[in-house]
């Protein structure tokens, strides 16, 4: 699943560690989500969306082949 | 939300510390059972059974501490652990039974000791975890 977390994070000037702490997950998890290697759970996706004041669909792009 | 996340992280650190403590106590109790039974109280079956029961109870406490820590992990960490545990369980069953069969049909000149299986499980779990972590980097 593609997402624009890296861009949003860069805009805010946050490191992966900062975002991980804000969301309550490990830095490795943020890294895997950013690279599209791991799809977050719904609560985590909501936390990310709320943090960036965006909708889930505004951040994550789901395609059938994902 | 920040407070609850910080609380979660502190609970996780505490769960990790507890697992470390219970593991150390369990390992020490294992040494107590073996060395005590062989060297200190070789003639007292009562003490041997008592220390063995203590060892099992402490082992159960260690398992519960591990379960407690598992609940504190995030979703990716849980997935990594689950996959490593699945490989460990599967390979231990298959390789363990094959190893035991080697002994039964006399293809190895020594007894198939359970300690080798425990070592195999530890190595399998560690390698699986490292490979899985690399996959998600």
Contact state of A44 with B75 under an 8 Å Cβ cutoff: yes
Q: How many domains does chain B have?
A: 2
Are B11 and B52 contained in the same domain?
yes
Are B64 and B108 contained in the same domain?
no
Instruction: Give the pLDDT of residue B111.
Output: 86
Are B16 and B58 contained in the same domain?
yes
Q: How many domains does chain A have?
A: 1
Last residue of a domain, one of B72, B91, B116: B72
Are B45 and B98 contained in the same domain?
no
Answer whether residue A2 shows pLDDT above 70: yes
pLDDT less than 50: residues of chain B: none
Is the separation of the CB atoms in B11 and B50 below 8 Å? Answer: no
Is the separation of the CB atoms in B41 and B48 below 8 Å? Answer: yes
| B135 to chain A: closest CA residue | A37
The residue range of the domain holding B25 is: 1-72
| B137 to chain A: closest CA residue | A32
CATH of the domain at A42: 1.10.260.40
Is the separation of the CB atoms in B18 and B65 below 8 Å? Answer: yes
Phi then psi dihedrals of residue A32, to 5 deg: -65, -35
Are B35 and B99 contained in the same domain?
no
Are B18 and B85 contained in the same domain?
no
Instruction: Give the pLDDT of residue B11.
Output: 87
Instruction: Give the pLDDT of residue B48.
Output: 96
The residue range of the domain holding A32 is: 2-59
- Out of A21, A22, A41, the one facing B75 most closely (by C-beta) is A41
Q: How far is the alpha carbon of A53 from chain B, nearest alpha carbon, in Å?
A: 15
Last residue of a domain, one of B41, B72, B103: B72
Answer whether residue A66 shows pLDDT above 60: no
- Out of A22, A31, A40, the one facing B75 most closely (by C-beta) is A40
Write the pLDDT tens digit of every residue in A9-45.
Answer: 999 999 999 999 999 899 999 999 999 999 999 999 9
| A33 to chain B: closest CA residue | B136
Are B101 and B64 contained in the same domain?
no
Please spell the DSSP secondary structure of B12-42, one letter per residue: HHHHHHHHHHHHHHHHHHHHIIIIIIIII-T
Structure ipTM: 0.86
Q: Is B112 helix (H, G, I), strand (E, B) or coil?
A: coil
Are B23 and B36 contained in the same domain?
yes
Contact state of A28 with B133 under an 8 Å Cβ cutoff: yes
Are B66 and B122 contained in the same domain?
no
The answer to whether residue A65 is domain-embedded is no
Is the separation of the CB atoms in A41 and B75 below 8 Å? Answer: yes
Are B2 and B54 contained in the same domain?
yes
Write the pLDDT tens digit of every residue in B12-23.
Answer: 889 999 999 999
């Amino acid at each position: 699943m593609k997402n624009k977390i890296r861009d949003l994070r860069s805009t805010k000037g946050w490191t992966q560690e900062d975002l991980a702490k804000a969301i309550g997950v490990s830095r490795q998890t943020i890294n895997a989500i950013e690279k599209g290697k791991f799809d977050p759970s719904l609560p985590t996706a909501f936390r990310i969306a709320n943090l960036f004041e965006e909708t889930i669909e505004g951040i994550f792009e789901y395609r059938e082949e994902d | 939300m920040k407070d609850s996340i910080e609380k979660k992280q502190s609970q996780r650190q505490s769960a990790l510390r507890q697992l470390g403590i219970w593991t150390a106590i369990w390992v020490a109790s294992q040494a107590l059972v073996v060395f005590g039974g062989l060297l200190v109280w070789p003639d007292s079956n009562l003490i041997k059974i008592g220390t063995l029961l203590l060892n099992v109870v402490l082992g159960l406490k260690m398992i519960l501490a591990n379960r407690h820590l598992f609940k504190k992990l995030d979703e990716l960490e849980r997935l990594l652990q689950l996959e490593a545990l699945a490989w460990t369980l599967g390979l231990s069953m298959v390789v363990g039974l094959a190893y035991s069969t080697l002994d039964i049909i006399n293809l190895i000149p020594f007894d198939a000791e359970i300690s080798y299986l425990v070592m195999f499980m530890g190595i399998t779990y560690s390698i699986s975890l490292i490979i899985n972590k690399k996959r998600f980097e």
